[in-house]
Amino acid sequence: MFEVIPVIKKHFQLLRTQPQTSNLKHIFASMIKKQQLLKAISYRLYSSVITFLISYLFTGNLVVSLSIGLVDSVVKIFSYYAFDEIWAALTGFKVQPAVVFLTGLSGSGKTTIARDVIEKLKKKGQAPILLDGDEIRNAIKLTGFDEESRKRHNLNVGYMASLLEGQGKIVIVSLISPYDDIRQQIRGMCKKFIEVYVNTDIKVCMERDPKGMYKKALAGEIKDFTGVSAPYYPPQDPEIILDTATMNIKECTTKIINTLKK
């Protein structure tokens, strides 16, 4: 299982209510940034003190040791901020924090694509996070499957994705998310939102049916099943459209990563 479970459990209280304001998000983000800044400054000071002490042990000269400690601190500060640019130049790969939101019917290939994108980004030196709708439901059972519960669940996932994006993360979301108005609300929460419509025909999804859900839904054993007894409203203007019946996983992943790099 990917990073989603510890992340969601850590922020359980944030997911209990439907996000209706960005105030909590900004407060939370501000607190984390201050902690990170304090940690970074403390580490620089600690590192400089260690350098000074080692220099003094070898030279016995206070002025020289202080100078070495100061130079060490300045060099580390500049190299720290330049590292991302240097790494991007060496690898030819640079992306900004973003939310990649894969939406589509059950069995369309969303999670398979999402996991492949995660692996490809990790190989490029990134640290992406996967938010999978099914995994989140299994971890924290807060909502049902009626329309109101689905919308709340989708907003909760979108809200968490926006929080993580605000902390500099690339977030890959795999979610049926059948309501276009909810997807637009989630778009509004994020700074860089890439909507990926996995437009695989329902007949193909039914043929795959990895969990046997369509069979149960058609038999009336499952109520409110998207595409059978509940509606799915396709995106009106997604950044990316994929069809896993005609495209392989590599092609889908490449298209997403190329869009991320823009």
Q: How far apart are CA 18 and CA 15, in angstroms?
A: 7
Respond yes or no: is residue 177 known to be catalytic: yes
Q: What is the residue type of 151?
A: K
Residues 6 or more apart whose CB falls under 8 angstroms from that of 165 comprise: 97, 98, 99, 171, 190, 191, 192
Question: Catalytic one among 48, 55, 108, 177?
Answer: 177
Query: Beta partners for 99?
Result: 171, 193
Query: Beta partners for 170?
Result: 98
Active site residues: 177
